[in-house]
Each structure stands twice: as structure tokens, then as C-alpha cells.
Structure 1
């Protein structure tokens, strides 16, 4: 922790040395103060649109930075004054809104030092490369891309050093992976934005300069709003999934079954409703324990799911009871599938741990199937009751059976292993 703070403060003091050993602010005072105010205002306005990321114990924010253009325009000293005013504006705002990190004060000095140092290097590199690239088509933009690459690599090097001192990065692979997180598209966006700003500064086109800032702000705000809407939708979907998912088996729960019943009542499709139940489940709990019983329920759910198509629905409608809505099948197909599932359950086994030993157990299940067409005369809720009654019939007849009924032919069938 102390090593990282020393490094952060060292960058700040190095930036002071570079700033005050330079030739001073290289543009006239009126132009500088006008640029300083515009950059400070829009940078401060833009700051709350940045994306915050947490790496270990350190928070990082991502967004377009304008230091390169004002640094090249004014020189290291002018850049230092801008960064100092801007960063402390952010610091005091975070303090007022109580969003500051515990080490926010030290981080402020780090931000000033790192951005002044990296963009001062870019300032000298720009003055060296500009004469060489003047004859080259798009030479100015090539230089801006080079400078953004250099400043990005320097920024990553500073952060990797800090994370290494904090213990959040321990290997070269982790350092390389950190560098890979930087987006080339974002770097290109920063290069072209700062390039346009620099051109407007050099030509004194203040209206164009401010227009670009406003455009960038509106685009960033729109992007953030859409990102938040998408994130909110993802969170809503996640909460809805949690509300409708059985925690033990991962299949739909009774609440979702009720919801689907309401939806399906508006249709006129043919549905086979299966209610299935593990036979003698209490014996499993009594002979072993509830953990083994839970494993039996999970195995039952996974086995049922393995026989169904994407159009079918599987719900845990009770303790060891499950309900299936078979869709896009006729009565014969529904009976054949239900019987196939019953036989599959009968011959399968599941593994569980009991008294520190792995055991293999088997069980059987009983099924009730009611097939009908959804309509106003018979709701799906009533059809479910009929399927449940057919399940009870299978239980009464000796278990490990399928009792089925076709609402159209009044045909009932009982199938069991002979």
C-alpha cells in the first residue's frame, strides 16, 4: 500500500518538474484562458458519464480524455494547470456527493501526475514528428494515432505498476491481459476527437470547438442512457428468472406455471398435461436424509427435461411432483412419450453421498396424462386437476404407472411395467 502511494506521488512531483522546466505556456494568455475554461467546463460536465470499473481495491473510470489536445496546444505547464484545476474539481465533487474512495486525495495527485507526464511526452513527440509527417498524406492523423498509442501504453504501465505494488497483478500474463482490455476503437475515437479539437484550437475556431464538445457530450449521454436501459432490462430479466425458477432443480416453479396457464388459456392449441410424482419418496428421506432426497428430486427433474423439446414446459409444481405441458403433439404421441419417460426413470440410477460414502440409488415414478384442446369450456387449470387425478389413479393401482385420458374420445389408458 505504501509503495503504491509513493509511486503515485512520485509521478506528481515528476510532472511538476517537467511542467515548470518547460518554456511555459506557449500560447497567448487570452487564448489559453479561453481554452482552459472550455476544457475544464466540458471535462467536468462529462466526468459523471464515465464508466467506473473496480480492479482489486482501486476504482478506475473510463471515458474520452481531452488532455492530449490541450497539452499540445499549451505545452506542459498549461496542461499541468488544466489537470490540477480539473482533477481537484472532480475531487471536491466526489467529496460533496460522498462517492470518493478512501484514497481519493492521493488518487487525485496520481491522475494529475500520470496525465501530465504521459501527455507532456506526447507534446515533445508531436513537435519532433510533425515536420517529418507533414509531406505524408494524413500525416497529422497518423501522428495523433501514434501519440494516443504511446499515452495509452504509458497509462497502462503506470496502472500495472500500482496494481503490482498492491498485489492485484502478480504475473506477466495478468499484466498482458490488463493491457488487452483496452479497446482499439476507443483509442481511435480519442485520437480523432483530440485531433479535431487541436485543429480547432490552432485555427481559433471556438464555435466549432464548443460544438464538438457538445456533440461528444450528447453522444456519450445517449450511449450511457442506452447502456443503463439495457442493464436495467438484464437485471429485470434476471430477477424475473429468479422469481420463476425453482432454486433446487433450476426448472420453472409453480408461480411460472400459473403464469403460463393464464397465457395458454388464450390459445386454442392441443396440450398434453402430465403430472408426475416420485414413488415412495418419503422412504428415501427416512432411509437416508434430506440431502439424498434433494439429489433424487434433481435427478428426476433432469431426467424429465432430457426427454422434452424446447416447445414443452417443465415445472416443479410440488415437493417431488412435476408438471409437464406437452405441445404440438397428438394424444398417441403424448402417451408414447410419457411411457418412454416412465421407463427411463425406472431403469436409471443417481449418485448421492451418504455417511461419507458414495451410493447409487434408483426409484420409480407415477404419471397422469390428460390430453385436450384449450378452450373456454375447459380451462387449463381444470385440465391440470384432471391430470392430477389420473396421477392419483396410477398411485392407487400400484405406482410406477401411466394413467392417461383423451378428452375427445373419452379414452382412458393405464400402462405399467409387466
Structure 2
């Protein structure tokens, strides 16, 4: 056999010729190299295996080796890394025949030459020799040295090509970002690029902000918990890549922060279906990839936020303009409710006002949904009021649970309406579905209600003043002026109506016997009976002193007489001290011209006649086309 020096020179010539005639990226290079060295050593066969760390296997680079009925395995699986460590640690390399051969020969002597190039994967050369011949240790070292030099060069060329391809994917992705305007488009581009670079891995984007959920993209909301410090949350909080090997699952997880110039917007999770040590160059590439993705997410987020901000400001400006256009409380509540419904489509909306400090007494405004009129709803309002007062801030929860009561709502926003440092009201927004409301919706509603609170307060105060001006302080019935105004308005626009005037019989005797305080209490009792008997459309008023009145729009006189009788019977039965009423009833119709003044005079005349008939009775002033007459009922 030729000497070591000659072997070295010839190997160098073989390597040079191969590199000049064959592309380092060509599979034929390993075929030619193996064939040339095998001929040089006069061996029966010679093959090269290289280790793939992604699969923990040695792959046969020299294909179609089947000589002298010997068949080598295309892959040697090394799950425990026994063979790899032996090569790396310069130990004696021994391969199990079953791992190496599919078909072997007892007449063939084979030798293993470990390959440990400076760069690139380790490997081994398998040389088959017949007739008991063997390759000396010195020649093995020469072969190993020259082949390792060639593998170093091939690896550098391969890595340069791979890096060019990966960098091209990264460049293309960044270029495409310039034309994308939505987050969904950005996420799609990121996942598409990842699949090109790592086709055998799985990926998730864990995002710190709300995202479009009705897509098939592998996107999740990032969860950061105080009790558990996961690799994902660590990557997000430290803005550094985290690598986690899970031995029981035989997987490697990479968590790369999606960082922009102003912050971290989430974490890219790469799932590798093997346990492996990721090369530093690969980690650096993943970091560059994640940073590019993070900047794109940031840019799109800022762009969308600016659009939303302009839209929100315009909407708030329009809303405030509407609220300041001299609306009543019902109209204001309706506008706010419609806006809330458009923004987040809740199942229940409650408007709570006139909150009394310490007592937690409140009013539920018209426009609130039915739930807040129930016992359960009112109890829930009291609970939320207590929490808002305790925390001195709004409540926003996507997974709400109340131990003491079975509340079916999981998504809750309870936003106070504050003015001059005190809580004047509370808007409660509910949904049974968890996380039904986004943080952006919550912040926008806070802004809307902050701008709306003054309009609420001013309107409520105005209506209270109007009510005070049109309401009798003692009885809480309407005032005489208010009643006159409403009757005049209805006589202009309506078709017919009836007026009942009541007078408490012998009221002076009540004052003289029991005192004026009890007299006032009797008037209040009569007023309460009147209000409980009439319908919502009817207008009760204090006419003056012990005289009370009810105007019944669109009501015939016969029906009004019956109402007067019912009120008189209840007053006689339920007042303490017991009193009775005299009543005069008059009506008007657009079929016969009756002025407001004559309408009032007719009712007053009928009441006077009722007093003259002996009191505790009803007299009506009947008007037909020919005569006017007083009739005792």
C-alpha cells in the first residue's frame, strides 16, 4: 500500500479537482469523492455519513452503495447521541452492525474513520476492505485530515447559500410589509415566511394586544401571570430570546420577542419536534427575524391607532354636539346607549344615577335594559357601586366571577360618571361571553362617558328644576300653572278631554280639630289615592288649598265621572282622619267650541253645586248642542 505522504498529495489533488469540476452544493460531489478515495485505497466500498442535528441522525451522503451483496442503511438514527458524542469526544468509534448495515458480509472487514471538521456537522467514513486487509492508523489520520478540510469548505459554501436564501426570505418579508395595512396581513406574511425557512416546525404568535380572532392563523393572546413565570412571559418582559427543552415531550421551544422601537408587542414561539442545541447563528437569525416582525407590527399598530384616534375624536365630537343640543334625559340616554351598542354589542346596559354616598341609594334611568329592574340586577348594581367606591376606579373584567351570587355575566365594564371629584352615576355594560370587550373599547367608552357626564348632569339638574317649578311641594302633584298649560296645549291639538275638580269636605274642621300638620297629611293622603287610581297619561294637580284636580285627555265625561266616584270611595275608606270629597266634572270637545276659561268655569261651577247638594258627591256639567245643565251623579 502506498505511503502516507503519497496518500496526502493524491487526496489534495482529488479535492482540488473536485472543487474545480463539481459544485460544492451537488450531491455528486460526495459520490465522486468516495469513488476516488475508494480507488486510492483499493477498498471494496467507501461511504460518508454526516450528522443532522435536527433529526439526531447520520445520513448517507454517498448514495446507491451496494457492492458484494453489502447494503448500507441510508440513515443511522442516534437518539441517545452515543455515536455523535464518541466522535465529538475523540473516543473509539464503534457502530452497531444493525444500525449500519441492512445486508452485511462476514467476508468483509470494515473500518470507521471519524470526521470532525472545524465547521459544520460531524460525520464518519465507512471503508470496506476484503481479505482481512486494513488501513493503517497513520493513513486514516491523513484521510481524515484532508476530508475534514474539504467538508469545512463545503459547509462554508452551503451555509453561505442557506444564509442567502434565508436572508432573501427576510428581505422579501420586510419588502412586503411596506404594502400591508392590517395586522392580519402582517401576521399572514410572518407565518408564510417562517414556513419557507423552517418547513418542519410549528409556530405561534403570542400577542400582547387584541387581534382579529376569526382567522385560521396560529395567533394567541399572550398571558402573563404573576404566579407562573413562563418562558414566553420571560421573553416578553426581558426582550431576550428564551430556549426551553422539554425532555418529556422530546421538543425544543424557542421564544423570540417581537420587539419594535417603542416596546415589545408579543412573542414568536417556534416549536421544534426534537431536543437539540440550536446553533448561535440560527439563534441570531431568529432574533433578526422576530425584530423585523415586531417593527412591522408596531408600525401597523401605530398606523391603525392613528386612524382610530381620528375616527374616535370625530365620533366623540359629533356625540358631544348632539348631547349639547338641548335634549332631555331620555334622549341623551338613548344616544349613549346606541353608541355603546354600536361599539361593543353588549347584552345588558344599565344607567345608574343619583347615587347617595354611604347609603348606596340610586336611581336606574330609563334606557337601562330589563335585567337592572330585577331584584338580582339591583343587587348587582349595589355590589358594583361598592367595588367602584372601594377601588376608586372603573371595573373592567373579561372573566368575572362572584362567589356570593350566581351572576351569568363574564364580561363586565362598570364605568363611573365623575364630576368635581364625586361619582354621580355609573354605566354598567355586561355580556355572558368571556372577554367579549376589548381594552380599546373600554378606553374609548371611558372617554365617551367622561365627555358625556357634564351633559348628563346638566340635563338632570335642568329636569329637576323644571319638575320643582311644575310640582307642588306638599303633594308632589303638578302645580296649577302646569295643569293649565297642559290643558290649553291639549285643547289646541286634541279632540276631547275631561277635568275633575275635588274639594275636601269640611277641611277647616279638620284643621281646627287636629291642627294644620294633620290637615297637610290628609291632603297628602288624598293626593296619593288620586295618583294610584289614575292612568299614566292623566295629569293630577293641586288646584289650590284643599282643592285637587285631574285632567283626563281623550276621556269621555261618563268615564271621568266613574273615576271621580272611585277616588271619592277610596278617600272615604282609607283616609285617617276620615274625610270625604266633593267633585265637579266638565268636558270639552272640538265638535263644540269651548274656551279653556269656560272649561275651567264649568268644572268649578259643578264643584260648587256638589257642595250645595250636601257634599260627598259628584256633579257633572253636561254640554249638548242646545243646553247646559248640572247633573248630580
Q: TM-score range by the shorter chain?
A: 0.3 to 0.5
Q: Return the index of the structure with the highest Cα Rg.
A: 2
* Structure of greater relative contact order (alpha carbons < 8 Å, 6+ residues apart): 1
Q: Which has a greater percent of strand?
A: 2
TM-score, normalised via structure 1 length: 0.47
